[in-house]
Amino acid sequence: MIPIQNVYYMLSYAFQVLNEQGYKNIATEQFHNTAELMAAILEKGIAIQLKRGLGKEYIPQTEALSSLRGKIDIAESIKTQSMLRKQLICTYDEFSVNSIMNRIIKSTVELLLRSNISKQRKKNLRKLMVYFSEVDFIDLYTVNWNVQYNRNNQTYRMLISICYLVVKGLLQTQSNGHTKLMDFLDEQRMCRLYEKFILEYYRREFKNQITANASQIPWQLDNEENSLWPVMQSDIMLQSGEKVLIIDAKYYEHSTQVQFDKHTLHSGNLYQIFTYVKNKEYELREKNHTVSGMLLYAKTDEEIYPNNVYQMSGNQITVRTLDLNLPFDEIAGQLNTIAKTHFDL
């Protein structure tokens, strides 16, 4: 189990806003579970957003009115015979706080209030929800999380991302007729956070030495027919001068597979990183370059964990583990060693 404080540090790299002054005290708090941490971030984030004002958007409304507003829905007015009551069915847009994002936040807080967080935290969240009295709840099972952001709602980006982690970690499921809570931040969610954390760590800590991106790698085909080929999306690509390091971050419960009592690397992971490296190398064939690959596993409780360097068809492929159970400065030290060793910094 990763220490809760380390989850916060990972989040603070994934979401830059957590490094702003208003969130500083969260870094010094002690949390007994991840739900408490997420509740603390939302509590602070919602309070900051309330000072700016709740975001509004135009919400379509249809209503029987005695005076004209917006457009008249003639068909519906005839169907409901509203004219007999000296009313017309009107459709109009209302500029309201009852936006999708505010509804997601309110419903997520309601979910947290039913989770294992402290009484004081619940009290604080309930106080904040007073300002959401004009906001409706939303069915969290049906939310489309592909929210469109613009300059007017950019401040909601981190809040909605935290809501996503909360919802996916705490949505209630039925088991044996009883309601229970799912494990918070399961393997899939932690994998995405792990990838984002490593990428943003290198972007921030080595911004003047290394270019860090999650770049797509084009397939190097002999013909141009690639319409059915999947996108080759890297997790992390580091580049400095003529050197390129492609990192594939893996967060698994088991970092090796076992067959007949023998531990081996996941074959699919090796195929994937080898494909990335070879296609990237061919793309840079007319330039002086060195392309290497790395499988970076989050360390598990297994006795055997990978930590090897291989030479494969002229390219270096490294398999390493990152111990997320260590104090965070030691985790940072492991990441620093990878960059400094590979790029001779």
pLDDT digits (tens, 9 = 90+) for 258-285: 666 666 677 788 889 999 999 999 888 8
Residue 256 has pLDDT above 70, yes or no: no
Reported as a pLDDT band with limits 50, 70 and 90, residue 59 is confident
3-state secondary structure of 111: helix
Residue 331 has pLDDT above 90, yes or no: yes
241 Cβ neighbours under 8 A, 6+ residues apart: 343
| Distance between CA atoms of residues 142 and 282, nearest Å | 43
| Distance between CA atoms of residues 186 and 198, nearest Å | 18
Contact call for residues 102 and 135 (beta carbons, < 8 A): yes
Contact call for residues 297 and 322 (beta carbons, < 8 A): yes
Element (H, E) at 246: strand 243-250
Query: Any idea which residue has 């370059």 for tokens?
Result: 289
Contact call for residues 171 and 182 (beta carbons, < 8 A): yes
Sign of the C-alpha dihedral computed for residues 199, 300, 11 and 158 taken in this order: positive
| Best CA proximity match to 273, nearest among 290, 296, 255, 241 | 296
Q: How many helices (H) and strands (E) does the chain have?
A: 9, 13
Q: How far apart are the first and last CA of the chain?
A: 33
Q: How many other C-beta atoms can be found within 10 angstroms of the C-beta atom of residue 169?
A: 20
| Distance between CA atoms of residues 307 and 296, nearest Å | 9
Query: Any idea which residue has 């690509």 for tokens?
Result: 237
Reported as a pLDDT band with limits 50, 70 and 90, residue 74 is confident
Contact call for residues 87 and 66 (beta carbons, < 8 A): yes
Reported as a pLDDT band with limits 50, 70 and 90, residue 342 is very high
Residue 179 has pLDDT above 60, yes or no: no
Task: Select the more confidently predicted residue: 303 or 125.
Answer: 125
- Helix-strand-coil percent breakdown of the chain, rounded to 5? 45, 20, 35
Per-residue pLDDT, 168? 78
User: For 188-343, CATH number?
Assistant: 3.40.1350
Q: Which phi and psi (to 5°) does residue 179 adopt?
A: -90, 130
| Distance between CA atoms of residues 280 and 274, nearest Å | 10
Tokens of 62: 């249809």
Reported as a pLDDT band with limits 50, 70 and 90, residue 188 is low
Reported as a pLDDT band with limits 50, 70 and 90, residue 119 is very high
Strands 172-175 and 308-312: unpaired
Element (H, E) at 294: strand 290-298
Per-residue pLDDT, 34? 81
Query: 124-169, pLDDT tens digit by residue?
Result: 999 999 999 999 999 988 898 888 888 888 889 889 988 988 887 7
Mean pLDDT of 216-221: 84
Give me the residue spans of the domains in the chain: 4-55+99-185, 57-96, 188-343
Contact call for residues 15 and 165 (beta carbons, < 8 A): no
Per-residue pLDDT, 306? 74
pTM: 0.74
